[in-house]
Amino acid sequence: MNEKRSTFGSKLGMVAAAAGSAVGLGNIWRFPSETADGGGAIFIIVYIACILFFGIPLMVAEFLIGRSSRANAAGAFHKLAPNTPWKWVGRLGVLTGFVILGFYMVVCGWTVDYFIQSVTGSLKEVSDFSANFNTLLANRPKQVGLMAFFVLLTAYFIFSGVQKGIERSAKIMMPVLFLLLIVLVVRALSLEGARGGIDFLFKPDFQEVKSTVFLDAMGQAFFSLSLGMGCMMTYASYFKDNTNLTKTAVQVSLLDSTVALLAGMVIFPSAFALTTNPDTIVSELVAGGPGLLFITVPGLFNQMEGSMIWSAMFFLLLAIAALTSTISLMEVVTIYIQEEHKVSRKKGLFFVLIGVLLLGTLSALSPQSFNILDMASAKIMLPVGGLFISLFAGWYLDKKIVQVELTNDGKIKFGISFLKTYSFILKFLAPVAILLIFLYGLIG
Ligand code: PHE
């Protein structure tokens, strides 16, 4: 490879891109249904603990592996640990990215459809939202078409490159997303009866703890922070030498959790305020499952004044969040093929397109495949990837490299005091916790 490797152009652009990867359907579609299922506030407490105790350290680990190697996810392990089986961790990551794309793109397609339904006003006419969603699910060709549209849209940004495609789009889309979200939160909180939703989110009921809450929350943390598959690693390979890795990981995690909580503060208060039967609201939300956002939420909006505007805004928000994430997922796979198989970006992208379209079609056609891809990636592949990444950064990686990366070669003083805690977490805490939670979740 003689071509100079790309980097992000500005600090703001870099944080926007990494936060854009993290903030996605995971925050707005997956988080509310997992929260409802996990008993509300209890789930959120465990989720935040997961982010603090191993999410952030693991993100730093991915950052330093990526920046010190300046290579794709598999190439990074290749460079830092030549001729060892560690490269399989990178390869597993690329595979995971592919698996996630397979079901994620289908949901992106639903989002586009609901945005169109909102803008054209047809969503306003709906009386049975469950039937409305099922009509979309039953229309297989339409789902495949919508999915393919989103795949091509994503590919356009990948094709435009790191600065012109990934960075520029994130710099525009992320602020828009925040703005839309804030407007929606204000609207939801001003509904009468919104209080119930806020209590559900923030007042824990310890009687309701489910045995799988730890695995669910950990899987959600990995998924939402884009960890455990080399995505943050790949983006960090485009970071500049003077980027403060610890600070960036904290910023990205903070932005991501904020968006998840804000999304919760749109959905739960509206649900509690607008429900006709407060006694069954929680079980209704749980039953909503992945359909929560496409059945319950439009139903709620429809009871509000100006429902068209609110739902159009909401589904636009969802599509934007999803797009910056699909871009990051597709970049991981594309740069892997490009660098490891030494082909041009265009050619690499072409192979990725074919693969994603095939897998996306499979999960659009079969709900079972869809569920398997969702569960396997979040609850198995990402935690396993995260486990090995933390073992690699904690035990294998040369201490010198870790120190240089964390302190930017001695320039960041805080980096040194962080070093000890960091290596304790990556050596012991994170691997043991991930393993225990994983086994417990599988048995329980
Ligand atoms: N973090 C993204 C979301 O929450 C999904 C994702 C996972 C993106 C893994 C990249 C890598 O939607």
Q: Which two tokens stand for residue 61?
A: 């680990």
The pLDDT of residue 2 is 43
Alpha carbon of 263 to those of 106, 258, 402: distances in Å?
Answer: 21, 8, 36
The Å distance, Cα 170 to ligand 1 centre, comes to 14
The pLDDT of residue 239 is 96
CATH 1.10.4160.10 fits 11-70+86-202+210-396+418-443, yes or no: yes
The pLDDT of residue 419 is 79
Q: Are 181 and 263 in contact (CB under 8 A)?
A: yes
Q: How far, in Å, CA of 80 to CA of 87, rounded?
A: 9
Atom of ligand 1 lying closest to residue 321 CA: 12
pLDDT along the chain (444 residues), means of 10: 76 92 93 90 95 93 96 96 96 97 96 96 91 94 97 96 90 90 92 92 84 87 95 96 94 96 93 80 75 83 87 92 95 96 96 97 94 89 95 94 91 76 90 86 70
The pLDDT of residue 130 is 86
Of the candidates 426, 417, 15, the residue with the CA atom closest to the CA atom of residue 248: 15
The Å distance, Cα 97 to ligand 1 centre, comes to 9
Q: Could you tell me the pTM of the whole model? A: 0.93
The pLDDT of residue 302 is 86
Q: How far, in Å, CA of 40 to CA of 207, rounded?
A: 12
Q: Where are the domains of the chain?
A: 11-70+86-202+210-396+418-443
Pocket residues: Cβ below 6 A from ligand 1: 21-22, 24-27, 100, 223-224, 226, 229, 231, 325, 328-329
Which DSSP letter does residue 240 get?
-
Q: How far, in Å, CA of 58 to CA of 225, rounded?
A: 10
Q: Are 426 and 57 in contact (CB under 8 A)?
A: yes
The Å distance, Cα 107 to ligand 1 centre, comes to 13
For residue 380, the tally of other CB atoms under 10 A from its CB is: 17
Alpha carbon of 255 to those of 64, 269, 433: distances in Å?
Answer: 20, 21, 24
Q: How far, in Å, CA of 136 to CA of 188, rounded?
A: 27
Q: How far, in Å, CA of 222 to CA of 432, rounded?
A: 16
The pLDDT of residue 443 is 73
Q: Which residues contact 18 (CB under 8 A, 6 or more apart)?
A: 232, 235, 248, 252
The Å distance, Cα 326 to ligand 1 centre, comes to 8
Q: Which residues contact 73 (CB under 8 A, 6 or more apart)?
A: 90, 91, 93, 94, 97, 229, 230, 231, 233, 234, 332, 336
Helices (H), ranges, 225-291: 231-236, 245-274, 281-288
Contacts within 8 Å (CB) and 24+ apart, 171-174: 171/12, 171/13, 171/16, 173/20, 173/320, 173/323, 173/324, 174/16, 174/19, 174/20, 174/23, 174/324
Q: How far, in Å, CA of 71 to CA of 267, rounded?
A: 40
The pLDDT of residue 415 is 62
The pLDDT of residue 3 is 57
